[in-house]
Amino acid sequence: MTTLSIENVTLTFGGLNALSDVSMTIEPGLITSIIGPNGAGKTSILNCISGFYHPDTGEIKYGGNRLTRALPHQVTKLGIARAFQNLELFRGLSVLDNLMLARHTNLKYNFFQAVIFAGKASRQEAENRAYVEDVIDFMELEPYRKSTVGNLAYGIQKRVEVARALTLGPQLLLLDEPMAGMNIEEKEDIVRFVMDIKKEQKKTIILVEHDLGVVMDISDRIHVLDFGEVIGSGTPQEVAANEKVIEAYIGED
């Protein structure tokens, strides 16, 4: 398993610092949460890791690979996948079709093999279909596999979004507010799936989430951002006792 290293990353937009000299180490096999007030830079960090933004200065490394100037598809090939806060699903397609499309980067056959659909093409399609079916079972989406995504309840759509990321076969999973807009029961379901992804699938997880109760319950490590700067890092207990975090995030004087 691989460590993600973020070293002295600064990101600016028109002179405004979204991130200022941010450093974090994401240890493999753990749930690491990134928290902070709105506009603190949480999603900017995920965008830098996943290749949507490129930092002005600093380094992001995943094992021996430098991600600082990598493109999103290159990051995905290294075993990093992301579930977005704003659902990145094809609303007019079924759950199964959405997940099968996510596996297209794993198809290695050529045009001729695709036309005759035999040998390598049919074998890879069968392997990808089996992989997708395993993800559907794991995320308990069997009742919805043929349903049009746009017709599903919001909480189920968010679960499909996590499943879409899992279908890419990552070792590092980036979850951007997977519980936003959910009711208590839906949040409990997602928490259970996140814990199972860590324990059963042995994934490393970076979680951006506003629900402090959830973060404190399931995180192994927490990094706190405020105005683009890291103001606290450590275990949930250490972060909860940090005076800077209390002042900036919890709101106590």
CA distance readout (Å), 25 to 4, 19, 21, 49, 163 = 6, 16, 14, 12, 26
Q: Which residues contact 47 (CB under 8 A, 6 or more apart)?
A: 53
Low-confidence ranges of the chain (pLDDT < 70): 104-122, 124, 249-253
If asked whether residues 146 and 179 sit together in one domain, one would say no
- Tell me the torsion sign for CA atoms 166, 157, 54, 203: negative
Please report the pLDDT score of residue 119 as a whole number: 57
The count of C-alpha atoms lying within 13 angstroms of the C-alpha of 1, restricted to the half-sphere facing its C-beta, is 15
In which domain, by residue range, is 136 found? 93-157
Residue 102 falls inside a structural domain = yes
Q: What share of the chain is helix, strand, coil (3-state, %, to 5)?
A: 45, 25, 30
The answer as to whether 87 is a domain residue is no
Residue 243 maps to a domain: yes
DSSP 16: E
Rounded-to-integer distance, Cα 110 and Cα 168, Å: 20
Q: CATH number of the domain that 44 lies in? A: 3.40.50.300
Q: What is the pLDDT of residues 32-52, one digit of tens each?
A: 999 988 888 999 999 999 999
Domain count, the chain: 2
Verify that 191 and 238 share a domain, yes or no.
Answer: yes
85 located within any domain: no
Whole-Å CA distances, 251 to 79, 177, 232, 242: 37, 21, 15, 12
Q: 163 in a domain, yes or no?
A: no
Q: Are 68 and 176 within one domain?
A: yes
Q: What is the pLDDT of residue 12?
A: 95
Amino acid identity, residue 139?
Answer: M
The model's pTM is 0.88
